[in-house]
Amino acid sequence: MRISASLFLSAIICQILWHTEVVRTTLELDDALVASLMSRLPGVSKTEAIQRAVRFYLTHDAVDQLRQLAGTVDIEDVSSRLRATDRTT
């Protein structure tokens, strides 16, 4: 099974992000972008809204990367052999 280096790196980054308690940082974000995000998540703090947006992005990006791998892994169909073995035991 072949896995691209970028997918492997993304998996490591996701692992680091999800298993880190808190990372404090200062971000310069576009005011309109933050306002748009906050309007979609009423009653949620900015921190929670940004965390949800990052999670959403990472989840969908991971799915996109998996879709791009379609057809790149050679899989041997052994179902007929397994069925034959199953019927003889």
Per-residue pLDDT of the chain (89 residues; tens, 9 = 90+): 455 666 666 666 666 555 556 777 888 999 999 999 999 999 999 999 999 999 999 988 888 888 888 888 788 888 888 888 877 65
Verdict on whether the full-model pTM lies above 0.75: no
Domain boundaries, the chain: 5-73
CB 66 within 8 A of CB 73: no
Structure tokens at 44: 């949620």
Report the chain's terminal Cα–Cα distance, integer Å: 30
Give the angle subtended at the CA of 79 by the CAs of 85 and 86, to the nearest 5°: 20
